[in-house]
Structure 1
Amino acid sequence: MAKTRNADLAAWMKQRQMSANELAGAVNDTIRGFTGRAGTTSERTVFRWLSGENRWPQERQRRALQTVTGLSATALGFLPRGKHQSVPALPEVPDVRRRRFCSAATGAAAAAVTPAPRPSRVGTSDVIRLRDDVERLVALDASRGGHNTLEQAALAGAGEALSLQGKSTTQRVRQRLYALASDFTATAAWSLIDAGQLDGAGRHLDRALTLAGLAQDSEMAMQVWNLRAMLARQRKRYPEAVAAAQAAQATAVVRRSPLHASLAQARVAVGLVHSGNSRAALRCLDRAEDALAKADPAGPRATWISFYGPAELYALTAIVRDVAGHPAEAEAASHRALAALPGSYRRNRAHTTARLALAQLHQDDIDQACATSGTVFTIMDGAPLPGRMRQLLGDFQRDLIARAPTARIAHEWSDRYRTEWSPS
């Protein structure tokens, strides 16, 4: 029978940016947990799985793969043959962290579920489990936005990553744990920024940058500088926002990744336009578009930058155009952003819709702007509005009253939505 490449396993590894050697180490570490002795899976073994030369791993390896990935062997693309054809699937492996972080999604405390006992040795499999926790927090943020439970869950994840340092088996694992701690801490900072609670975000970002340095990870450093630029803009410290975005541009990951280069250019553009330099901001937007056109949309990417693509660049373009005094172009960019946004990005959709309403308002299309802004609450479907979104709607309300102080629709908008967008 001709060999068929195992595309499912390859896709899982690509999504998590995991090498064959790292997967082999994770499998061996997990087998140690079962038997007390490390497995003998090698990098060559993984290559044979990927090529289709070995289409059905040994039982211990299958069990370890299920523990590491959370997927059955068949879901990973393996095909039982011969006597294995009727072998039942291994029982599902409980995922304590998944239950803990899902409880955060419903508003319960992040520590409501007791963590599993920490292993005596720490390896790649532990890194994978913590990375999955980061992904769940990012998914929660995309749906609901920043809030205190998300911050606390992220800090708990950072604490766990750091607590495993003393038990890590290799220098590479130790660096990855520092990178994960930085990622978690930056996520906590972002939660505060999005919630409009800016005072504590800077401390989290200082800590996240230190951890990124310990990890020697330019990807995490770029994430921190990107958030630092956003925080400075929220505080209306526009020269600092530009400087932070330029620091992001200087990271090594930007030099090798068009995707990261595009985001850094767009962030500089936002800082520049708020500083009054619209012409330079528009040039940066052009460079951001050129860089994004060179990025591989299907390429592997870190979880924190999964939000960035054409939709986010259109949304940032809308901000730059509106601040630069081009509301018609801002409206068009917002429409393009909404058309390109994935369905799971509810918070981003609501925020972009609010920006669209502002662009319409700045063209004196009062009725349409009020109708558009009202859909923000429909999109959020009763979920609390993050502070950053409330602030944007507050800007809309102030501009609405300023442009139409005697219009009945302006007062009706305020009467109808004040309780929904005002802080509780």
Structure 2
Amino acid sequence: MGDNPELRTAMADLGLTRPELARLINHELVALGCPGTVTVRTVGTWLSGKSRWPQGRIRIALGRVLKRTPEQLGFIPPYAASPQAPPEEPVLRRNFLAVSAAAALPTAVSRGRTVGHTDVDLLKESLRTLTELDDHRGGHGSLEAAALAGASHALGKVEKTISEGVQRRLYSLAADYTATAGFSCIDDRRLDDAEQHFGTALRLAGLANDHVTALRTFNCLSMVGYQRNKTSAALSAARAAQDNRATRRDPLLASLAHARTAIAYSTAGDRQAALRCLGNARDALARADTRERPTWTKFYGPAELAALSAVVYQHLNNSAESESESHRALAGIPPQFRRNRASATARLALAQLGQGEIEQATTTAIGVYTLMGADPLPLRLRTLLGDFHRGLITLAPTSAVTREWTDRVHAQGDHQ
């Protein structure tokens, strides 16, 4: 008699608590025409090893629920310990019983497989890869398609689960995949598609009771409003992110929501509110800890807050402060976040141009192409460089620097 690690591991992988397992077994017993007699205490005796071989009908129900034979679940038939049998016989008979039990189960049990936490973890690793690709290259159609395929794969596994906990994780993962697709569309300036994906992501996050992914989605919707020059929409989405329950639990997420709201206020010309939100973002970030968070949050920290602050100061017509924050951002954004570094570089060029530093600004802007290398620039980044291009022509239309820059833009095919 002893602990039953096989059963414990099977329950943990499928995300089943003792009450849930008892309820599912009783449901199968009723389907077999037997009374549901399994209790939480019964499950406890199996886990502790006090009960080594459940009754026949219960073994069948248990096999249907967990899709494993009794032996695979750590149970030992009474005859396995019989001293009268030759040493080889228990092994042979146990193997025979395992094969017979598997054959006796319904096809869905013997051939199917219940989805558990291990499957969800594998899907999370695939999402991590897509997030890293987005950080490096930026959004594009292939990334969007891969993210949507991941969401579909996660949703396709929901019906193969028997645990509410695993189901919630799958819905959460599908929401995260879909939000990744939406964010890719923002980079690609396909804002209608982005909004559609975010609407789906919010619904899935609701099914998962996932406040963190809901916050991510509202944050991205605020970006969509900003890209559309719809200040009210950007501000409403940013406030929804601020009011999300996740911000009360995690100062880092609260900081991100405050920073996004600051940008929305700055585009509306509300200087006081924008600076107040920036102050709140800094205060919250100072309280952030190193807890484990979803992969998509890894971009955010002091350097990214500085990059967002540069956007705020640019909208408030404070080019000097925007330049200072851009330098701070570029000093801290890690190399693997290449797209974000390129974006901060473009903002720095705009800030320098705003102070009349034409040659320095142009040199900085060329650095965007150097950073992105041979990869195509995401359309959102090309739009920033388009803003720089138009500002340079307005400020110094006949300058040699402007002519050289224009030739470079035409050669790159990025003229807006």
TM-score interval, smaller chain: 0.7 to 0.9
Which of 136, 139, 144 is 2:137 aligned to? Answer: 144
Supply the AA of the counterpart residue of 2:12.
Answer: G
Which of 213, 226, 232 is 1:220 aligned to? Answer: 213
Which of 306, 311, 316 is 1:324 aligned to? Answer: 316
Alignment-derived partner of residue 302 in structure 2? 310
Flag the 1:364–1:135 CA change in 2: closer, same or farther, 3 A. Answer: same
Which of 389, 400, 404 is 2:392 aligned to? Answer: 400
Contact 1:385 1:421 in 2 (8 A): no
Contact 2:14 2:115 in 1 (8 A): no
Which of 166, 182, 190 is 2:183 aligned to? Answer: 190
Structure 2 residue 325 is matched with structure 1 residue 333 = yes
Bigger proportion of residues as helix: 2
What is the CA–CA distance in structure 2 between the aligned matches of 1:402 and 1:201, rounded to whole Å?
Answer: 33
Q: Taking structure 2 as the reference length, what is the TM-score of the superposition?
A: 0.74
Alignment-derived partner of residue 206 in structure 1? 199
Deviations 1:292-331 (A, max 9, x none): 00001x3211112111111110000000011101111111
Supply the AA of the counterpart residue of 1:275.
Answer: A
What is the CA–CA distance in structure 2 between the aligned matches of 1:198 and 1:228, rounded to whole Å?
Answer: 10
Alignment-derived partner of residue 279 in structure 2? 286
Q: How many residue pairs end up in the alignment?
A: 324
Structure number with larger C-alpha Rg: 2
Supply the AA of the counterpart residue of 1:404.
Answer: A
What is the CA–CA distance in structure 1 between the aligned matches of 2:229 and 2:155, rounded to whole Å?
Answer: 34
Q: Taking structure 1 as the reference length, what is the TM-score of the superposition?
A: 0.73
Deviations 1:236-264 (A, max 9, x none): 11111011000011111111110010000
Alignment-derived partner of residue 344 in structure 1? 336
Structure 2 residue 26 is matched with structure 1 residue 26 = no
Contact 2:329 2:344 in 1 (8 A): yes
Task: Quote the offset at 1:376 in angstroms.
Answer: 0.6
What is the CA–CA distance in structure 1 between the aligned matches of 2:15 and 2:224, rounded to whole Å?
Answer: 42
Q: Where do 1:13-412 residues align within 5 Å?
A: 25-26=12-13, 120-296=113-289, 298-412=290-404
Structure 2 residue 400 is matched with structure 1 residue 413 = no
Task: Quote the offset at 1:340 in angstroms.
Answer: 0.6
SS in 1 for 2:331: helix
Contact 1:22 1:124 in 2 (8 A): no
SS in 1 for 2:192: coil
List gaps (5 residues or longer) in structure 1.
1-20, 41-117
After superposition, the CA RMSD in angstroms is: 2.3
List gaps (5 residues or longer) in structure 2.
1-7, 17-65, 75-110
Flag the 1:258–1:119 CA change in 2: closer, same or farther, 3 A. Answer: farther
Supply the AA of the counterpart residue of 1:418.
Answer: H
Task: Quote the offset at 1:418 in angstroms.
Answer: 2.6
Supply the AA of the counterpart residue of 2:155.
Answer: L
Identical-pair percentage: 47
What is the CA–CA distance in structure 1 between the aligned matches of 2:128 and 2:218, rounded to whole Å?
Answer: 20
Contact 2:319 2:355 in 1 (8 A): yes
Supply the AA of the counterpart residue of 1:393.
Answer: L
Task: Quote the offset at 1:26 in angstroms.
Answer: 3.1
SS in 1 for 2:191: coil
Contact 1:127 1:177 in 2 (8 A): yes
What is the CA–CA distance in structure 2 between the aligned matches of 1:130 and 1:233, rounded to whole Å?
Answer: 32
Contact 2:223 2:234 in 1 (8 A): yes
What is the CA–CA distance in structure 1 between the aligned matches of 2:73 and 2:123, rounded to whole Å?
Answer: 22
Flag the 1:319–1:27 CA change in 2: closer, same or farther, 3 A. Answer: same
What is the CA–CA distance in structure 2 between the aligned matches of 1:407 and 1:161, rounded to whole Å?
Answer: 56
Deviations 1:269-302 (A, max 9, x none): 0001001112210110000000000001x32111
Flag the 1:123–1:327 CA change in 2: closer, same or farther, 3 A. Answer: same
What is the CA–CA distance in structure 2 between the aligned matches of 1:363 and 1:403, rounded to whole Å?
Answer: 11
What is the CA–CA distance in structure 2 between the aligned matches of 1:319 and 1:28, rounded to whole Å?
Answer: 44
